[in-house]
Amino acid sequence: MIQEANPKSRKHLTKSKLMVSAIQKPLPPGSTIGILGGGQLGRMLSLAASRLGFQCHIYDPEWAGPAAKVSRFESNTSYENIEAVLSFAQACDVVTYEFENVPSLTAKTAANARSLHPNANVLNIAQDRFSEKTFIRDKAKVPVAAFEPVNSVHDLKRATKKLGLPAVLKTRRFGYDGKGQSIIKSENDIPVAWDVMKGAPAILEAFIPFKREVSVIAARSFTGETAAYPLIENVHQNHILHKSLAPAENDDGRAQGLAVQIMSALDYVGVMATEFFELEDGTLLVNEIAPRVHNSGHWTQDAGCIDQFELHIRAICGWPLGDTSPKSKMEMTNLIGEDISHWESLAQEPKTFLHLYGKRDIKPGRKMGHVNRIIG
Ligand code: AMP
């Protein structure tokens, strides 16, 4: 069902349907940006888009989620409702997504009607850890941790012999925030680790004794222009991002170069996050890419430059990418679950910017908001 905040908007929907699907020149303010997914990333994309005079149409099976609450249009139906996906795409001037598990038929349907950025092939690759790591290593020529595909306990035993122990077993699909993962320290752990996969195809990765985890947020436009923020250092707690610090120490620009190399190989348009393990000797290995705006880039909202959300909107609409150099050092801290109950004291802290996502229910492990603090 398409909900319209303003019935007069129907006129705009009809006009959009007549537009050609591929963007030839920058989309003017007033155009409609379609976003598949309606969580906090969609919300912050929509807020950034509205600053530039765009309006957003959110496609989200849930009614009135974080993104829809701040957007002009929403469609509430399943991603498998292909007719609805088609009319959603036809009502927009460009379509993007805020999560990487958009079903491939949904993405293809949207892409057939309108420009979809990043392209549907990026999604195909990023939805499967095996194809993602194979692509990054073999096509983009960027180093990753050694890995092996695993489809049975027999494969797992063979892979542990090849890669050595400890090693990390991960599901190929639908893993995030450490879900669907287990560390194998000795051969005795193999049966339990395989049970965790519940028969799903998996990969085994060599365990990387990293010095720190860093990430890069970079963008590429459809003219091939690129822009990147300084290096970000990330600290995880219980497999969920806890803090990001930027600019990180010892940023020699290598990580940004590798991220751009991957984006070019993917013919990428939009913002992409690349997460790296940095070893003691400075070697960088890609852990994973996220074909979207990313939690480790939230600090950009208050650093005095164009933030990652606006950067993505600019890239997918064919605008100049703009200034990504921060004017201050920032620390972003996620507000997980009950952390949000401290909103009143956080709102009083100096040099602190509070971002709350408008989620109805507080649940343990749920990202409810974040704070950006100017430091130094
Ligand atoms: P992922 O879901 O792949 O991003 O993994 C979640 C977290 O688990 C990472 O941020 C790391 O802290 C840790 N991790 C994942 N893979 C490895 C690895 N191969 N070696 C060491 N730690 C890892």
> Over the stretch 353-363, which tens digit does the pLDDT of each residue have?
999 999 999 99
pLDDT of residue 295: 98
Are residues 257 and 274 in contact, defined by beta-carbon separation less than 8 angstroms? no
Q: 133, 148, 168: which to mutate for ligand 1, most atoms within 8 A of CB?
A: 168
Query: What tens digit of pLDDT does each residue of 114-165 get?
Result: 999 999 999 999 999 999 999 999 999 999 999 999 999 999 999 999 999 9
CATH architecture of the region 2-116: 3-Layer(aba) Sandwich (3.40)
- Count CB neighbours of 148 within 10 A: 19
Parse the chain into domains and list their residue ranges: 2-116, 146-206, 212-374
Indicate the average pLDDT of the chain. Answer: 93
**Residues near 98 by Cβ (< 8 Å), separated by ≥ 6?**
35, 36, 37, 38, 39, 41, 42, 45, 67, 292, 293
Least Cα distance to 367 among 66, 23, 54 occurs for 66
Give the model's pLDDT for residue 175. Answer: 72
Q: Which CATH superfamily is domain 212-374 in?
A: ATP-grasp fold, B domain (3.30.470.20)
Q: Rounded distance, CA 93 to CA 114, Å?
A: 7
Q: DSSP H helical segments within the chain, as ranges?
A: 10-17, 40-51, 82-90, 104-113, 120-126, 129-134, 153-163, 190-196, 254-266, 308-316, 343-346
Give the pairing type, strands 2-4 and 73-75: antiparallel
Residue 176 has pLDDT above 90, yes or no: no
CATH of domain 146-206: 3.30.1490.20
Cβ pair 39, 368 in contact under 8 A: no
Ligand 1 touching residue 208 (CB < 6 A): yes
Q: What is the DSSP letter of 230?
A: P
Burial string for 308-341 (b: 16+ CB within 10 Å, else e) reads bbbbbbbbbbbbebeebebebbbbbbbbbeebbe
The residue to mutate among 287, 288, 289, 295, having the most atoms of ligand 1 within 8 angstroms of its beta carbon, is: 287
- CB-count burial class (<10 Å; 0-12, 13-18, 19+) for 241: buried
Q: Which atom of ligand 1 is nearest to the CA of 208?
A: 20
pLDDT tens digits, one per residue of 274-312: 999 999 999 999 999 999 999 999 999 999 999 999 999
Q: What's the whole-number mean pLDDT along residues 31-56? A: 98
Q: Report the distance separating Cα 32 and Cα 56, nearest Å.
A: 5
